[in-house]
Amino acid sequence: MNPVADTAIFFGKFLYYFLESLVFKVIPKRKKDVSGEIVLITGAGSGLGRLLAIHFASHGATLVLWDINQEGNMETCRLVKQKGDVKVFAYKCDCSSRIEVYRVADQVREEVGDVTILINNAGVVTGKSFLNTPDHLVEKSFLVNAISHFWTCKAFLPAMVKANHGHLVCISSIAGLVGINGLSDYSSSKFAAFGFAESLFLELTMIMKTKIKSTIVCPYFIKTGMFEGCTTKYPLLLPLLEQEYVAQKIFNAILEEQVYLIIPKFAYVALFLKQIISPKMMIALGEYLGVDTCMTSFTGRVKAEELQMETERKEQ
């Protein structure tokens, strides 16, 4: 193509999409109907996964709940059924195991059908400094927070591509956009999850030209117990997020087919500054925001999960 014509077409598209984005800032996009959709949520046994399941159940979706914690998953199942005549299927699945993901995925296809909305939500965090993080917990962080996304997408994406219909949702983190001290394994695994989700979005959109949607979510610390003990220096700028608020924002983003969701909005400012200021300025900004001390009193979910991880490690 002629470079002049090519450039003119680019600027035309760029201007059109810019104006379109401005319009959608004023007039919200029409929300899609998820009734009848088969929605699979990993890490559905508590916190964000549970709340998302309740939201989808309220809108008539069929729920498939995955969690390694069978007791928590069954409690989510019970809460979802309170929403009325809802189809819900609960499965115990260790998302860190490729073999188990594929096995349970086959079971879901046989018993429920083809998943049309996949929400990769399962996550673990150790909250230890790099040199104090045991090797098996580093591996666990990557297996659950990032590599499991490869297996779930490989399991369910082919049917979406065949039907030219579906939605992939990645729950990453602000820590997947900027490194946070005391979270070296978690942060790097969330970077990996974000990178995978974004590259797959581009592949599906630019190369395969499908109608499959993607939503990539990057929230700050959420009050789910996972980041118990974390603090924030200036709650007005970087608040510890209420899980109900985050779940509602994610649900709305999915219904509006929003590609990127970063919470809170101040994070957009901080991320922009990161790209243009010097490293020393960035460190000064981090200290001002309390990033250097936010993990000092971290405890996290230290009870059943640590015992379970230790047992799994000994059995290997």
186 noted as active-site residue: yes
Q: How far apart are CA 258 and CA 217, in angstroms?
A: 10
First to last CA, the chain: 58
Q: How far apart are CA 263 and CA 281, in angstroms?
A: 23
Q: How far apart are CA 239 and CA 251, in angstroms?
A: 20
Q: How far apart are CA 63 and CA 201, in angstroms?
A: 24
Is there a cis peptide before residue 3, judged by omega within 30 degrees of 0?
no
Q: Of residues 17, 186, 245, 268, which has the active-site annotation?
A: 186
SS (H, E, C) the chain: CCHHHHHHHHHHHHHHHHHHHHHHHHCCCCCCCCCCCEEEEECCCCHHHHHHHHHHHHCCCEEEEEECCHHHHHHHHHHHHCCCCCCEEEEECCCCCHHHHHHHHHHHHHHCCCCCEEEECCCCCCCCCHHHCCHHHHHHHHHHHHHHHHHHHHHHHHHHHHHCCCEEEEECCHHHCCCCCCCHHHHHHHHHHHHHHHHHHHHHHHHCCCCCEEEEEEECCECCCCCCCCCCCCCCCCCCECHHHHHHHHHHHHHCCCCEEEECCHHHHHHHHHHHCCHHHHHHHHHHHCCCCCCCCCCCCCCHHHHHHHHHHHHC
CA neighbor of 152 nearest in space, from 140, 168, 164: 168
Q: What residues act catalytically?
A: 186
